[in-house]
Structure 1
Amino acid sequence: MLEIVNQIKLTIAGDNDHPFLNGPFTPNDKEYTASTPDLKVIGEIPRDLNGIYVRNTHNQVHESIGMYHPYDGDGMLHAMHFEDGKATYRNRFVRTTGFLAEQGAGKSLWPGILAPQLYERRGWGSMGAMKDNAGTDVICHAGKLIASMSQGSEPWRLDPVTLETLGADPSWARKVVHGLASHYKVDWETGEMMFFNYPEVAPFMNYGVIDRDNQLVHYVPIELPGPRWPHDLGITKNYTVLHDLPFFFDHELLKKGQRKLAFHRDIPARFGVIPRRGDNAQVRWFEAKPCFILHLTNCYEDGDEVVMDGCIQNNPHKPRVGEGGSKQEQYERIRAHLDKHNNPTLMYRWRFNLRTGQTTEHQIDDEITEFPVCSNDYVGRPYRFSYNVLYQPGEWLFRGLKRYDLVRDTTERMEFGEGRYGSEPQIARRLNAKSEDDGYLLTYITDMKANQSECLILDAANIAAEPIARIILPHRISAGTHACWVEGDRITTESRSTTI
């Protein structure tokens, strides 16, 4: 089967030369359903690959109000469903309130992250000015996908198979006034999902737990010194790790409605270790060297210590976009900020000793990588392998993958090839897997030279080997970032049938 099920009218001006609306970032306007054998497969899809690989994408529809930033576009999910050696591809817009309102108006109604001062309608996110685009993160919990934007949005639920938008979660969305920020985490063993948000009003952070039956069972305020701009959290078997990092808006300017991010080198980073259902009084704050963190690989408990692995930014900075200059100069500032070779991110490990209160930390690698992931089955538990992306110098594009063996302290890499750019990878352990890396590594590729996209299936234990299979998509998809893997036994319920 190969069917165009819908087409959305894009109103972006034909002469718009924004680099993040052209080339690999050209938005898609068609929604497809396509399955094998009508999808061309190079190689063979493994029969023990069972589940759904889903990637979120910022896919802009209308001409932007103010300067467009690639975090502004409407959420579009791209999903490949594997079962018994066959595959079905679907892509669908996340039909948020903002998306539907702008469809009705035929134009943008909200500004983006670089121009919150231009808002005329109540918005979402920690700034309360943006459209809830649900374009950043995606994860599966309790048999439904949840898509969100990073600053905090409604918990948009979607059917994991059909990608139909089911609306904001009816069980608990109204109880979480400030929404949920991206990078909520699911513990496969308990079925619980941990999340946070960070409004610009006191106490400046809230932390919650949704149980395996999709009920809000815990939601507490977390007191911070002021408004912050965290991005991720970590979980272990018994704890959650919250971030209070010295990269935030100037407090005095914020009182005047001006938002200027700055890195405060004289303020240590703080990491709050809280029992999974603990409250503000039970948070133990650990100090570390000043830094910013976008994404973690994993956290786990090791004796008296909580271990946290992720990618550190030692000198984060934000370009002065919107402060004058030509469009081209502003484009270059956006690119310079997103280029991790200009704003380095490095694999790093922190250890928080719950007995002594001390932090130890060290750098794992000196190569620039980001978007680190581990197997769902090992989230919150001791693990061995982190899979990271490699950046194209000068661009916000992923040129390859790097596999870290954190036990043997070795690495392996693969490059996608010239003009080929990937997405955040996901680990799909094979049915009846015997080890952590017994399975497959999945990513979507946007191939600019061949003018096509594909879903790439690699051997998770040997990513440098030839791909096991390449599934050619019916269109070239826009470059995107965050993804998730939904195991076959989690498509309808939050109950794993496997053990590690």
Structure 2
Amino acid sequence: MQVEKLPPIKSTLQPSNHPYLTGAWTPLFEEVNAVDLDVIEGTIPTDIDGIYLRNTENQVHQPLGRHHPFDGDGMIHQISFKDGVATYRNRFIRTRGFEAEQIAGAALWGGLMDGPNVSKRPGFGAHGGLKDTASTDVVVHAGKAIATFYQCGEGYVLDPETLESEGVAPWVPLDGISAHPKVDEATGELMFFNYSKHAPYMHYGVVDAAGKLTNYIPVPLPGPRLPHDMIFSQNWSILNDLPVFWDQELLKNRNVHAVRLHEDVPARFALVPRHGRTEDIRWFEAAPTYVLHFLNAYEEGDEVVVDGYFQTNPTPKPLADAGAHGHLMAYLDQHSMETRLHRWRFNLADGTTKEERLDDRTVEFGMINQKFSGRKYRYVYSTLAKPGWFLFEGFVKHDLDTGEAIEVRLNQGRYASEAPFAPRIGATDEDDGYIVSFIIDENRGTSECILIDAKRFADGPVCRIALPHKISSGTHAHWVDRPVLAAARAAKIAALQAAA
């Protein structure tokens, strides 16, 4: 393995026993380029051609208040595959906040668990007073990677191949974009929403394949809400108004952001025509819950079918054995929240909603073959979480047609990342390809990349590739085929030339 190290960044982080600053969540301050990666086991496939991008919360400076893992600065880890060769690189996302703290040599903003007076400078996000770390998700649209922030941020653009920072996406509106904009590979469009503490409290937008904002409309809500994700079908974008949001009295009278489950309030889903107006929105009610992540949506007759992860217990009690961190640990624990694979059916003809549980396992952070986004699909690749922790111990492949589920568990002390699907070159079947993931091995103090053949899922990794350093755990990942990337760039150039 050949490794080129970049100049170091400034860090003031002190040794800590915080559960999300140690172990698999130990921050990494090193940026590198690496080629000739060592293959630990198997052979790098020659039948995939693309890039795996994974975003990471990576705390750089000593926190001003209480640390939450979602406060960490964004870092993109990338592994690129072509002709059976893999290369690796990682970069911090040069957000305005990151650059300001590098100049100051210290933290300037508090975090999700702090009050409004902790930050030394005005902040961003629906919460207010936060640093936009762009550390939550990463998607590729119009040939560029876009890194996003947990509570609505500016949307930071990077070159997906070099990871060079290119600043804020020019189309992002004043209230930012949510953590999970969605890209439709079939049309090249990106759909997004945002939310805030001022009326109308939510907006929805569409960006075309050339990177131009073509639709931006209000989605009025009864008050401030905390939606995290959205999904789309061919004709509809599906937003939500769920009964887990800030305590309105505490927020109004003391500016305290205390999340509550409002048990007497139903879940509501907004079906928005992709290019529609506010008056075109269709609202549907469902059982109270919170949904952190959706999987896919498609249209079937009069129904719009939506799959995601239903939380049976969205505001769990603190974990008894976690001491002062009990509240934090419970709200990061899928087993405490009881996340289950779930399906909603919204009937456009009569306005009714039907729901069903698809599996009783505790699963979340699922991925699908992106070529089936917005269309009827069959396979889901979810993560299996370590009880009590925001750490992934394995994967499960669900066949939604047959109900079959196949698990792959990692050895103790090994933790995975979200695992997107990489289609095999020339694939004709939905599951003809691999899932790709970064692994943190706490037993050896190392990290690696694994690939699992989706058609031989139970066999586990067909290839293990060493990374040049141990990475920190994180949240979301993305796969982009190189031909998709090239086509998006060509379309964007053509659109710019036509406009000129």
With the length of structure 2 as denominator, give the TM-score of the two structures: 0.95
Which position in structure 2 is the counterpart of 1:417?
411
Which position in structure 2 is the counterpart of 1:75?
74
Post-superposition shift, 1:92?
0.4
Post-superposition shift, 1:494?
2.2
- Please give the alpha-carbon distance, in whole angstroms, between the structure 1 residues aligned to 2:18 and 2:429: 45
Which position in structure 2 is the counterpart of 1:265?
263
1:8 aligns with 2:9: yes
Post-superposition shift, 1:370?
0.4
Which position in structure 1 is the counterpart of 2:309?
311
Kindly indicate whether the alpha-carbon contact (under 8 Å) linking 1:148 and 1:156 is maintained by their aligned counterparts in 2: yes
After superposition, where does 1:1-80 map in structure 2 within 5 Å? Answer: 1-14=2-15, 16-36=16-36, 38-80=37-79
Kindly indicate whether the alpha-carbon contact (under 8 Å) linking 2:322 and 2:329 is maintained by their aligned counterparts in 1: no
- Please give the alpha-carbon distance, in whole angstroms, between the structure 1 residues aligned to 2:230 and 2:490: 23
Kindly indicate whether the alpha-carbon contact (under 8 Å) linking 1:299 and 1:381 is maintained by their aligned counterparts in 2: yes
After superposition, where does 1:280-359 map in structure 2 within 5 Å? Answer: 280-317=278-315, 329-359=323-353
Superposed CA deviations along residues 430-459 of structure 1, whole A, max 9, x for unmatched, are 111010000111011000012110100110
Kindly indicate whether the alpha-carbon contact (under 8 Å) linking 1:31 and 1:91 is maintained by their aligned counterparts in 2: yes
Post-superposition shift, 1:462?
2.1
Q: Which moved more, 1:2-11 or 1:240-249?
A: 2-11
Post-superposition shift, 1:7?
2.0
- Please give the alpha-carbon distance, in whole angstroms, between the structure 2 residues aligned to 1:107 and 1:320: 31
- Please give the alpha-carbon distance, in whole angstroms, between the structure 1 residues aligned to 2:256 and 2:351: 37
- Please give the alpha-carbon distance, in whole angstroms, between the structure 2 residues aligned to 1:193 and 1:289: 29
Letter of the 1:448 partner, please give it.
E
Superposed CA deviations along residues 370-392 of structure 1, whole A, max 9, x for unmatched, are 00111110111100001100011
Kindly indicate whether the alpha-carbon contact (under 8 Å) linking 1:180 and 1:195 is maintained by their aligned counterparts in 2: yes
Post-superposition shift, 1:39?
3.1
Letter of the 2:313 partner, please give it.
N
Question: Share of identical aligned residues, percent?
Answer: 46
Task: Report SS of the residue matched to 2:338.
Answer: coil
1:168 aligns with 2:168: yes
Q: 1:233 aligns with which of 230, 235, 238?
A: 230
Task: Report SS of the residue matched to 1:7.
Answer: coil
Change (3 A) 1:289 1:213: same
Kindly indicate whether the alpha-carbon contact (under 8 Å) linking 1:296 and 1:373 is maintained by their aligned counterparts in 2: no
With the length of structure 1 as denominator, give the TM-score of the two structures: 0.95
1:179 aligns with 2:176: yes
Superposed CA deviations along residues 82-135 of structure 1, whole A, max 9, x for unmatched, are 001001101100000000000011110000011141223211110221000000
- Please give the alpha-carbon distance, in whole angstroms, between the structure 2 residues aligned to 1:320 and 1:422: 25
Letter of the 2:475 partner, please give it.
T
Which position in structure 1 is the counterpart of 2:159?
159
Post-superposition shift, 1:278?
1.1
- Please give the alpha-carbon distance, in whole angstroms, between the structure 2 residues aligned to 1:330 and 1:157: 37
Post-superposition shift, 1:41?
4.3
Post-superposition shift, 1:495?
7.4
- Please give the alpha-carbon distance, in whole angstroms, between the structure 2 residues aligned to 1:157 and 1:116: 30
Kindly indicate whether the alpha-carbon contact (under 8 Å) linking 2:67 and 2:111 is maintained by their aligned counterparts in 1: yes
Post-superposition shift, 1:328?
6.8
Kindly indicate whether the alpha-carbon contact (under 8 Å) linking 1:189 and 1:496 is maintained by their aligned counterparts in 2: no
Letter of the 1:268 partner, please give it.
P
Which position in structure 2 is the counterpart of 1:366?
360
Letter of the 1:156 partner, please give it.
Y
Change (3 A) 1:309 1:144: same
- Please give the alpha-carbon distance, in whole angstroms, between the structure 2 residues aligned to 1:376 and 1:438: 12
- Please give the alpha-carbon distance, in whole angstroms, between the structure 1 residues aligned to 2:91 and 2:272: 37
Which position in structure 2 is the counterpart of 1:243?
240
- Please give the alpha-carbon distance, in whole angstroms, between the structure 1 residues aligned to 2:3 and 2:257: 47
Kindly indicate whether the alpha-carbon contact (under 8 Å) linking 1:222 and 1:279 is maintained by their aligned counterparts in 2: no
Which position in structure 1 is the counterpart of 2:205?
208
Post-superposition shift, 1:233?
0.3
Kindly indicate whether the alpha-carbon contact (under 8 Å) linking 2:316 and 2:337 is maintained by their aligned counterparts in 1: no
Task: Report SS of the residue matched to 1:243.
Answer: strand
Which position in structure 1 is the counterpart of 2:390?
396
- Please give the alpha-carbon distance, in whole angstroms, between the structure 1 residues aligned to 2:33 and 2:358: 42
Task: Report SS of the residue matched to 1:306.
Answer: strand
Structure with the largest fraction of helix = 2
Which position in structure 1 is the counterpart of 2:496?
none
Which position in structure 1 is the counterpart of 2:494?
none
Post-superposition shift, 1:10?
2.4
Kindly indicate whether the alpha-carbon contact (under 8 Å) linking 1:50 and 1:84 is maintained by their aligned counterparts in 2: yes
Moved beyond 4 Å, runs of 4+:
318-321
- Please give the alpha-carbon distance, in whole angstroms, between the structure 2 residues aligned to 1:447 and 1:255: 45
Which position in structure 2 is the counterpart of 1:107?
106
Which position in structure 2 is the counterpart of 1:134?
134
- Please give the alpha-carbon distance, in whole angstroms, between the structure 1 residues aligned to 2:269 and 2:337: 22
Post-superposition shift, 1:315?
2.1
